Structure 1
Amino acid sequence: MKKVVIEDSLGIASELEKQMQYLIDTYQCEWATVVNDPERRKWFKQFINSDDNELGIEIITQRDQNRPADWRKNPLELPIVESIEIPDEMSWVTVGKTWDFPVDAGAVVKYGDVQLAVFQSAEGDHWYACQNMCPHKRSFVLSRGILGDENGIAKIACPLHKKTFSLETGESMQQEDYSITVFDVRVVGDDVQLNLPREGKLEPTLATAPNCSAVCR
C-alpha cells in the first residue's frame, strides 16, 4: 500500500491527480444551480398557473407545538367523494402551455381554491385531468402518482397507498368505494385547456380547507 500510494509504484498518481482536479474544477451544487436558474426553478412550482403555495398538510397542535396530523384510522368517518355533479354550465379554461407539463407525469393547476392534476401521456400524446385530492386519505397528491395503463384504460395510482383510479371514468380500478372526478382536456395551439364549471362550483367538495378536520396550512 505504501509503495502504491506514496511511492507511486504503479505510475498512476499523476493521472489520479488530474482526475481529482477535474472534479474540483467542475463541481457545482445542484441545488444552488436550480435556485439561481429561473427556468429550472419553474420545475419546483407547486402550481403551473399560480405562484401560490398551498401545502395541503393538516396541522394539529400537541404540547404547544404544531405537527402533521396522524392518518385517520377510519377514513370513512368523513364523507367520501364518490362523484360530483358537474353543472351544465361548462367552459374551456386555459391552465397552461403544453411545455409546462411533463411527459408521462403529472402537474398541478389551481382553479379558484381547487387543485387539479393534469397528465400528459407520451403514448399517443393523450391528456387527462382529475382532482388532485386522493379520496382515500384526502391528501392532495395524485399529480405525483404513477401514470399507467390497464387493459387499455389510462390510470393513476396514488403515491401514498397505491389506490388506483381510471383517468377516463374516475372509478376505482380496485373496485373500492372511492372515485375521483375527471375532466376533459384539449390542446388548442400551445394552450392546454380543461372543460370546467364556473369557478367556485367545485370548492365545497374539492378545495383544500373543507377536507381537513383541523387546519390545512
Structure 2
Amino acid sequence: MVAKKYGLYCKITGGQRIDMFGAKKGDLLNIWQELVDAGMESGHAYAKSLRTVKSCVGTTWCRFGIGDSVGMAIRLEERYKSIRAPHKIKGAVSGCVRECAEAQNKDFGLIATEKGFNIFIAGNGGAKPKHSELLAKDVPPDEVTPLIDRYLMFYIRTADKLQRTARWLENLPGGMKYLREVIIDDKLGICNELEKQMQELVNSFFCEWKEAINNPEKRKMFQQFANTTERQETMEVIQEREQERPTYWASESAKYDFKGHKWSTLAWQPIIEAKHFEGGDSANVKRGETQLAIFKIKGRYYASQQMCPHKRSFVLSDGLIGDDASGKLWVSCPNHKRNFELNGTEAGKCANDDDINIAVFEAEERADGWIYLRLPPVEELDSLLATGKWIVRKDEGNQPFEKMDGYLKGRTSKKPSERTIMKTKEPVMVGGCGGPGLDW
C-alpha cells in the first residue's frame, strides 16, 4: 500500500529485505510515518553497520534442515541491528551443509550441525571476494551470541576505518590462530569486557527514522528546497513490471563551459535566512526555475549550480566537502565522485574530469540575517541552468536490453501438451541427506 501510494519501485534483495526505491525527499517522513506505525524499522541499507542476516528455511520447512536457521537468524539480527562498525557487516545462517543462505561468504555465518552450529567469519563478496574461515565447530546455540559478541567487538575496536572483516583478519598479526586465542581462550583476559561493550552498544539502539519523524527541527530537512515548499522533477520515469523507475542516465555529460559563461550583469540577491545553517552546512535552493547549492564552510559561504554535469543529476548540495593544506575547497558529487573546486582562481573546475565544470557564485551573510548570492537576472539564469533544460529524458540514455527484449517479445506459457520434454536414457537417482545421487 505504501509503495503504491508514493509510486515506489519494489524488489526483494539478496539479503531478504524489502527495498523501495524512488522516494521523493519531501515524501520520506510521511512514508516512514506509515511504516513505523505499521511496526517496521529501517534496514540500514547504507550505514556502516549490520545490513542483514540472511537465512534458508531450515528445519521448519526443509526436509534436509538440521537446525532452525530462521530462528537463529532472527535472533542474531535483533541483537546486532544498527550497531555501527568500521564497515558494513553481513551475516547468514544455513540449516545444513547445502548452504542455501551462502553463510561462507559473509562477515559472520553459521551452518547448522547435529551438535549446534559451525561459525565462519571474515568472508565477503564484492570486488575482492573472500571465502570465510572456520572460527569454531559445533557451537551450542546458547554459546553462539557470546562468541560473535567478542568477535565483532574485537573487530570494531581494532580495525581501521572502512576496513571489512576479511581485510582486517588478513592484516591481524597471527591471523585466525591469534583471534581464537583472544576471543575463545581469553589469552588477553578481555572476553568479559568485549561482551560488556557489545551489550552497551546493543542497548543504544533506536530507530533513526522514528527519531526524525518526532523531531520538528529534523523534519525541516526533508524539503527538496530549503527556501520553498515547491517541488521539481529532476529525471523522467519509465514503466517496468507495472512500476515506475527513473530512466537510464544520459549517455553524454553536459560539457558546456558553465565555469566560463559570461553573464550580462550580476547583482546581490537575498536567497535564504542564515539560521537555516545552524543545523547543517549545505542547502539546495530554488531561484526561478534553477536549482542552486549553498555551502557553509569554516564560517564562510559558497554557492554553485546544483546540477553535476557528469550525469546531469541535481545533487551537489548533498556532496562531501573537502579541503587541502593550501586552502582549496571542493565539493564531491555524491553519485560518482566528481570533485568541483569552490574557491580560488579555478573555482568551478572539476579536478578529476577535464570535460566538465560548474558555475559558481559569490555568497555572503549580511547583518539582516540573510544569505545573499551574486546572481544574474532570473531569466538569464534560467536560460542556462533551469532544471527543465537539463532533466534527463526517456530517449536520451542507452537502452541495454532493447535487442534482448526482442527475443522475449510474445513469449508466453505453453500448455503441457505443447511443451518439449527432455528425456533421459537412464533414470535420475536423487540422493537423500548425505546419500548418493545429485549434488545439491
Tell me, in whole angstroms, the C-alpha distance in 2 between the residues paired with 1:54 and 1:60.
17
Deviations 1:60-119 (A, max 9, x none): 2446643211223x324xx42322634233221111122202677321110011110000
Say if 1:134 and 1:40 are closer, same or farther in 2 by CA, change over 3 A: same
Say if 1:103 and 1:130 are closer, same or farther in 2 by CA, change over 3 A: farther
Tell me, in whole angstroms, the C-alpha distance in 2 between the residues paired with 1:94 and 1:213.
30
Matched-pair contact (CA < 8 Å) for 1:164–1:174: yes
Query: For residues 37-116 of structure 1, what are the structure 2 equivalents within 5 Å?
Result: 37-62=215-240, 65-72=243-250, 74-76=251-253, 79-83=254-258, 85-101=261-277, 105-116=281-292
Q: Compute the RMSD of aligned alpha carbons.
A: 2.7
Q: Which has the higher contact order (CA 8 A, sep 6+)?
A: 1
Q: Once structures 1 and 2 are overlaid, which stretch shifts more, 200-209 or 132-141? A: 200-209
Shift in Å, 1:29: 5.8
Query: For residues 136-155 of structure 1, what are the structure 2 equivalents within 5 Å?
Result: 136-150=310-324, 151-155=326-330
- Alignment match, 1:212: 391
Deviations 1:144-177 (A, max 9, x none): 0011113321111101111001112101112511
Tell me, in whole angstroms, the C-alpha distance in 1 between the residues paired with 2:243 and 2:286.
30
Matched-pair contact (CA < 8 Å) for 1:106–1:144: yes
Match of 2:359 among 165, 169, 181: 181
Q: Once structures 1 and 2 are overlaid, which stretch shifts more, 46-55 or 30-39? A: 30-39
Does 1:196 find its partner at 2:375? yes
- Alignment match, 2:414: none
Match of 1:119 among 295, 298, 305: 295
Say if 1:29 and 1:62 are closer, same or farther in 2 by CA, change over 3 A: closer
Tell me, in whole angstroms, the C-alpha distance in 2 between the residues paired with 1:149 and 1:93.
28
Say if 1:200 and 1:170 are closer, same or farther in 2 by CA, change over 3 A: same
Say if 1:86 and 1:109 are closer, same or farther in 2 by CA, change over 3 A: farther
Matched-pair contact (CA < 8 Å) for 1:146–1:158: yes
Say if 1:186 and 1:38 are closer, same or farther in 2 by CA, change over 3 A: same
Tell me, in whole angstroms, the C-alpha distance in 1 between the residues paired with 2:381 and 2:207.
42
Tell me, in whole angstroms, the C-alpha distance in 1 between the residues paired with 2:329 and 2:291.
20
Q: Percent identity?
A: 35
Matched-pair contact (CA < 8 Å) for 1:103–1:121: no
Q: Once structures 1 and 2 are overlaid, which stretch shifts more, 192-201 or 39-48? A: 39-48
Shift in Å, 1:54: 2.4
Tell me, in whole angstroms, the C-alpha distance in 1 between the residues paired with 2:219 and 2:386.
26
Deviations 1:35-56 (A, max 9, x none): 3443331122221110112242
Matched-pair contact (CA < 8 Å) for 2:265–2:377: yes
Q: Once structures 1 and 2 are overlaid, which stretch shifts more, 181-190 or 31-40? A: 31-40
TM, length-normalised to structure 2: 0.39
Matched-pair contact (CA < 8 Å) for 2:235–2:393: no
Q: Once structures 1 and 2 are overlaid, which stretch shifts more, 183-192 or 36-45? A: 36-45
Look up the SS of the partner of 1:67 in the other structure: strand
Gaps of 5+ in 1: 2-22
Match of 2:303 among 122, 129, 143: 129
Look up the SS of the partner of 2:330 in the other structure: strand
Say if 1:38 and 1:86 are closer, same or farther in 2 by CA, change over 3 A: farther
- Alignment match, 2:341: 166
Matched-pair contact (CA < 8 Å) for 2:338–2:353: no
- Structure with higher helix content: 2
TM, length-normalised to structure 1: 0.75
Say if 1:214 and 1:101 are closer, same or farther in 2 by CA, change over 3 A: same
Structure whose alpha-carbon radius of gyration is higher: 2
Matched-pair contact (CA < 8 Å) for 1:145–1:156: yes
Deviations 1:5-25 (A, max 9, x none): xxxxxxxxxxxxxxxxxx8xx
